[in-house]
Structure 1
Amino acid sequence: MSRDAIIDQGYEAYTDQDHETWRLLFERQAAMLPGRAAPEFVDGLDALGVDAGGIPNFERLSDRLEDATGWRIVAVQGLISDEVFFDLLSRRRFPVTNWIRKPEQLDYLQEPDCFHDCFGHVPMLFNPVFADYMAAYGRGGLKALRLGALKNLARLYWYTVEFGLIATPEGLRIYGAGIVSSKGESIFALDDPAPNRLAFDLMRIMQTDYIIDHFQQTYFVIDSYDQLFEATRPDFSPYYDELKGKPAISPDTVLETDRRV
């Protein structure tokens, strides 16, 4: 099933412009993330060994990652089906898009490219607890598909893996790939007074809609990756039953039961 979606990275096909785009993106993000990105992300980026020299070779990255947490990177052409995505995650295979954005798309891209996937997602897979969480999410995704509850589970991914914040002794830090790979959102998520920053609440998150074409109106903050992993250990079937028929919460809503961070 998922093997049909996996392709060769096609490294030789990258142009000088492609590598230059990677360099521009990497240098810009690497310069602004100290003091903003979670320590685990920074450590993972160091362990990954990528730099501004050009688009990295996925095989070499995979060897480093597999030694650390048993994960490997697989190249895909772009968005893949939910079933394939979850199957890959459940087997500790992270799909990374093999193409990179055009120079005029430096600041915004609706679909993930190799910079978003590789720079944004892969470093956190060096953290053992987060790596286990991602594999568990893949297994949970296959179950959610069978139960017709994908919408609820997708919200969890969005508000953690893509746009999650973590509380540290030094203050809030970014670990979500959608933030760390975006110059504008890296600033907005931590510095702007506009968005809501709320304490992690699993059921609340799975009931909350999100927006895909603008900075987030709400971010959810975890205390630790262990908290995230432990919250997602139980069987979600009763949660899906409880959420069934409940209206979605708007992304900009703050409930009386929410705790601001």
Structure 2
Amino acid sequence: MAEETHVLDRPPPGAAADWTVPQDWERFTPEEHATWDTLFARQAKLLPGRASNAWLRGLDVLHLDRPGIPRYEELNERLMKLTGWQVIAVPGLVPDDVFFDHMANRRFVAGNFIRRPDQLDYLEEPDVFHDVFGHVPMLADPVFGDYLAAYGRGGQRALGLDALKYLGRLYWYTVEFGLIAEPEGMRIYGSGIVSSYAESRFALDDPSPNRIAFDIARVMRTEYRIDDFQQNYFVIPSFDELLRQTVETDFAPLYEMLKEQPDIPVAAIEPEDVVLTQGTQDYARGRAA
């Protein structure tokens, strides 16, 4: 009997051993560039006053407002000078060890395709718009860049500690769906929010979700949903504090403690939570009806 293989067991045809592929920018069609421009224009109009100052600065200094899908060689020239990060193209999802190795070495993997025009509002697998428009502006911030590199090193360690579930939740509730308290008010920095027209409004304006002060152990116990708006958002006080908690935490004993505790369900509030806004949960109840 032939040995069964999994799609992530080896790089697909055309990919290097580290799963990277050439961006091959010339292959993107005019329609695909137009899709990027449509998505960009919609989000760029919505996000001032909603996105964090760091994200907005990154969008500006990286010149992402130029028409069409960005060329990585041009983007990386600016990004490397700022924080030492670079964007690399991959064919899709990559194995965990590959993902963490790239991140630990300041290489951000980005999907090498863009959604169809009829998928503007939701796409299950991250595409180039989610990865570049959503994530890359934050890579221009030195502190957040250090956080992501530290996260990559932590992921390499977590592989041997049977703890990816917990570390994945930290990524989800910071890098993908994080909020930050700025002097002007609560703002978005997570890519899953800034790249979504609907969730960019929901995360800050809707009365349904809870918005809870960030605590690393609390976040790592909390379940999340991948196919709908979040019902818990965690709010950091600053990127400096996020980085401090990450580099000063000894994750090995924390993982062991978490394994002895029950997971916290989506939308739950714990007695020790610092709740900044308690949600009505109307949206969650309506979806369940």
Q: TM-score w.r.t. structure 1 length? A: 0.98
**2:253 corresponding residue in structure 1:** 238
Quote the Cα distance in structure 2 between the aligned partners of 1:219 and 1:104: 28
**2:199 corresponding residue in structure 1:** 185
CA shift for structure 1 position 116: 0.2
**2:284 corresponding residue in structure 1:** none
**1:257 corresponding residue in structure 2:** 272
Q: Which amino acid aligns with 1:65?
A: L
Q: Which amino acid aligns with 2:145?
A: A
**1:62 corresponding residue in structure 2:** 76
Question: 4+ residue runs of structure 1 moved beyond 6 angstroms?
Answer: none
CA shift for structure 1 position 175: 0.2
CA shift for structure 1 position 235: 2.1
Give structure 1 stretches of 5+ with no counterpart: none
Name the SS of the counterpart of 1:5 in structure 2: coil
Name the SS of the counterpart of 1:146 in structure 2: coil
Name the SS of the counterpart of 1:109 in structure 2: coil
CA shift for structure 1 position 3: 4.7
Give structure 2 stretches of 5+ with no counterpart: 1-10, 277-289
Q: Decide whether the 8 Å contact of 2:222 with 2:266 is kept in 1.
A: yes
Quote the Cα distance in structure 2 between the aligned partners of 1:16 and 1:214: 31
Q: Decide whether the 8 Å contact of 1:27 with 1:52 is kept in 2.
A: no
Corresponding position: 1:144 with 2:180: no
**2:218 corresponding residue in structure 1:** 204
**1:18 corresponding residue in structure 2:** 32
Name the SS of the counterpart of 2:56 in structure 1: helix
**Percent of counterpart pairs with the same letter?**
57
Deviations for 1:114-135, whole angstroms, at most 9, x for unmatched residues?
Answer: 0000000000011111000000
Quote the Cα distance in structure 1 between the aligned partners of 2:18 and 2:245: 33
**1:51 corresponding residue in structure 2:** 65
Q: Where do 1:101-112 residues align within 5 Å? A: 101-112=115-126
Cα root mean square deviation, aligned: 1.1
Corresponding position: 1:92 with 2:109: no
**1:168 corresponding residue in structure 2:** 182
116, 119, 123: which one aligns with 2:137: 123
CA shift for structure 1 position 52: 5.2
Moved more, 243-252 or 97-106: 243-252
Deviations for 1:207-229, whole angstroms, at most 9, x for unmatched residues?
Answer: 00000000001000000001100
**1:159 corresponding residue in structure 2:** 173
CA shift for structure 1 position 245: 3.1
Moved more, 230-239 or 194-203: 230-239
258, 262, 271: which one aligns with 1:247: 262
**1:33 corresponding residue in structure 2:** 47
Quote the Cα distance in structure 1 between the aligned partners of 2:239 and 2:194: 17
Quote the Cα distance in structure 2 between the aligned partners of 1:47 and 1:99: 24
Q: Decide whether the 8 Å contact of 1:165 with 1:176 is kept in 2.
A: yes
Name the SS of the counterpart of 2:180 in structure 1: strand
Highest CA radius of gyration, 1 or 2? 2
Moved more, 26-35 or 240-249: 240-249
Name the SS of the counterpart of 2:159 in structure 1: helix
Q: Decide whether the 8 Å contact of 2:223 with 2:263 is kept in 1.
A: yes
Number of residue pairs the alignment of both structures matches: 261
